[in-house]
Structures are given as C-alpha cells and as structure tokens.
Amino acid sequence: MSPIAIHTQTSIDEPVRTIKLKGAAVDDQEEVARNTLPGPLKYSGSLDGYTHFEVTPSIGREFGKDLQLSQILKAPNSDDLIRDLAVLISRRGVCFFRAQDVSQDEMMELQKRISTSAGQPKESNMCIHPVSENVGEMGAKTQLISAEAQRKGGGIMRLHDDVSRWATRAYHSDVSFEKVPADYSMLKINVLPPTGGDTQWVNCYDILDKMSPSMLEYFKTLKAEHNANFFHQEAANHGRTISKTMVRGNPLNVGDDLSARHPLIRTNPVTGWNALYYSYGFGGRIQGVTYDEHLFLREYLMSLAQLCMNNFDCSVRFRWEAGSVAIWDNRSTLHSATFDYKEERNGDRASSIGELPYLSREGISKSEGLRAEGKQW
C-alpha cells in the first residue's frame, strides 16, 4: 500500500476520525498500477513538420488536416511519432486534430499505443465506464457519446437535480473516482449542431502557479476523495445497475463503490510536472482535516471558479467540426462540455487507464520545468 493511503472516513459528510499522514511525497505505487517510465520523456521533434499552432500560451495545440492520425499509426517511424504525441499532449494538456478519417478501431489502437508509450502499467488497459459502457471485460470498443443518453441519464451535470446550474460543476478528469483513473482520453465528434456544444479544458499545472508556495506545500500533504456514487442513480435512469464484478481497466477498479482517495497534488510521469488533481465534478471530502476545514479548502480550490474559471489564461475552448479529434491528458487537465444546444450531437470516445496517482519527490512545477529547458511553452 502507498504510505499516504489514509483511509480514515466512511462518508463524505463524516469528519475524519484519525489522521495518519506520513508525508505526501511518495514515489512508490502499488505494483499492479505502477507507471513504467524510468523518468520524464523528451520530445524529439518528429511532429514539427506538420502544420500546427499553440492555441493559447498555457494549453492546447492544434494540428492541421495534413496530420492524419490514421497515417501516424502506419508510418515507418510510428513508435517515435506516437511517443512524441504522448509527450506533446502531456505538455500542452490537449491536442486538437481537424478533418480526421481515423476509424473506431484505429482510435482504440492509437489510444492504447499512446498510453503504452507513456508508461502505462502492464495490468492497465482501456477504460470501461461503469455506467455508459455496459459491455464485457474484453468487449469494449469506443464509447458512443450521445446527447440523448446524457439527457436521459442525467450525466455528470446531474441535470435532474435542483442543486446547481453552474456549468463549472461539470468540470472533471475522466473516471477520477476509480482507484486507477484514466491517463489519456480521445474524442472524435461525428455529428454536431450548427452551433454550440464546445468543450473547454483547464490546465491544472498552471493552477499551481496561482498559489503561494506555502499554500502549495500544505496541499502537497493532503489527499482527497473523488466520488461518483451518484452514477448509481444515473444507471437506474437507464434501467441498469452497476456491476459489482466487472473489472474496469485495472484489477484495482472493481466493485460498485465508485470512490477513491488520491493525492491533491499529482505528478505527471511523462513531464515530471505537478498539477492539482481535484474537480468539482467528482471532488469530495478532503482527507486529514476537519469537516469545516474541508469546506473552506474546497471553497478555495473548487470554487473552481476561483482557480480555474476566474483565470482565463489557464483554459481553452474548442469549437468542434465534424471529424475533429481531441486527445487530452486527464492527469493534468479538467474538461467540461457545454450544454447549449438541442440538436443531435454524437461521437466516439476512447480512454485508457493509467497508473495509481502519486506525488513524486522529484516532481516540479511546469514553470520550473520550462525555465530549466529555456522554453516558453
């Protein structure tokens, strides 16, 4: 077990009874969920010949249609190209690709190869969502994204609730409620409304630079619960139940308790940079503090309004076209859909399960990393 596994409470409303923090800086991970990279990866420049631009200084790179993901898979140097793709996605948070002809099977192959090149533990595989992928353990294809299914089930916005109408409530990192959550996700939009349905991403590396060093050091000592047990109601809305036995992409991801406790500050193994790992969508009880302190800290952090949404320099908004693909790193970004349309919108998504989240003693901030490299972004 990880030294900072502080399983000390049974419900998000219950105060922590005992505190066993042993220091948050840990390098060791459970064997079945350990990233295999010996250290951060370096970008070799193999993708520089394709048309591209940085969407903002903080986050996002967009490639032109001269880069076809289907061709990257078949290129003689595809291993180099895919490893560089992983590095770029992890550094820029999200990469966008226009007018792609990549098929569902090719998306699955590419997603697996990106994750493998980024040190995916050998026990991890493609992500199986506990609600929206009612498939056998070996049968997962890409997940169909459907506006109709979202409306019927409620989705992460819990549209049937009368709790909040803040769109920021839906900011999340994919399946962060799993013990071993997603590393990368890929979405291709096939059908979209004439306007609306944009997706937004927030760069969680850069949020750390919004904190004072002393506050950041404190947050490095904490873990937080990520909880999606509201998905039981979502499954019921679809007439289903959540399987107690299906393994969802790693042997540790099994059972119908959709909650996990992760370090609040997490190191990305590909870049070696630290990022805030907490979201309004799934973020629950902050561990190791009293309930009142949890409320204050959550308000500070996840009023995401204060640290993400109020800092426009940390976010990017993507306007989809039919055939657009986005690939993002869930370890260091949050994303949220925009539900401002009524027409049909659907696409294919492929996510992969990565490593057990950890905070490395060697982890540095993105700004420190870029300074050391003499780079601007």
At its nearest, how many Å lie between Fe ion and the CB of residue 256?
20
Taking the complex as a whole, how short is the minimal distance between the CB of residue 351 and Fe ion, in angstroms? 8
Q: How far is the CB of 337 from Fe ion (least distance, A)?
A: 8
User: Of the two residues 174 and 206, which places its CB atom closer to Fe ion in the complex?
Assistant: 174
- Which residues 6+ apart lie within 8 Å of 91 measured at CB? 43, 270, 271, 377
- With respect to Fe ion, which residue has the nearer C-beta, 41 or 175? 175
- Exposure of 312 by Cβ count < 10 A (0-12 exposed, 13-18 middle, 19+ buried)? exposed
234 binds Fe ion (CB under 5 A): no
C-beta closer to Fe ion: residue 52 or 188: 188
Q: Which residues ranging from 197 to 226 are in contact with Fe ion (CB under 5 A)?
A: none
Q: According to the binding rule CB under 5 A, does residue 348 interact with Fe ion?
A: no
Pick the closest to residue 280 from 299, 267, 293, 294 (CA basis).
299
Q: Min. distance of Cβ 332 from Fe ion in angstroms?
A: 14
CA-CA distances (angstroms) from residue 326 to 69, 232, 282? 11, 28, 22
Does the protein bind Fe ion through residue 174 (CB under 5 A)?
Answer: yes
CA–CA separation, 21 and 148 (whole Å): 44
Residue with tokens 């099994």: 254
Q: Of 18-26, 170-178, 193-201, 228-236, which part binds Fe ion (CB under 5 A)?
A: 170-178
Pattern 109-128, Fe ion, x by CB under 5 A: --------------------
Say which amino acid occupies 229: N
Place of tokens 């909650």: 259
The strand pair at 61-63 and 94-97 is best described as parallel
CB 157 within 8 A of CB 281: no
- Residue 315 CB, nearest approach to Fe ion (Å): 15
Residue range at the interface with Fe ion (CB under 5 A); choices 27-35, 173-181, 199-207, 305-313: 173-181
**Residue 196: count of CB within 10 angstroms of its CB:** 15
> Whose Cβ is closer to Fe ion: residue 133's or residue 174's?
174
- Residue 328 is encoded by which pair of tokens? 């993002």
Stretch that binds Fe ion, among 28-36, 174-182, 198-206, 313-321 (CB under 5 A): 174-182
- The answer to whether the beta carbons of residues 147 and 77 sit under 8 Å apart is no
Residue nearest to Fe ion (CB): 174
Query: Least distance from C-beta 172 to Fe ion, angstroms?
Result: 6
Q: What does the alpha-carbon distance between residue 222 and residue 217 come to, in Å, rounded to a whole number? A: 10
Residue whose CB is less far from Fe ion, 335 or 366: 335
The residue count for binding Fe ion (CB under 5 A) is 1
Minimal distance, residue 145 CB to Fe ion, in Å: 9
Strands, DSSP E only, in 6-88?
52-54, 61-63
Comparison of 289 and 326: residue with beta carbon closer to Fe ion = 326
| DSSP 8-state assignment for residue 313 | G
Least CB distance to Fe ion at residue 71 (A): 27
Angstrom distance (rounded) from CA 149 to CA 262 = 29
The residues binding Fe ion (CB under 5 A) are 174
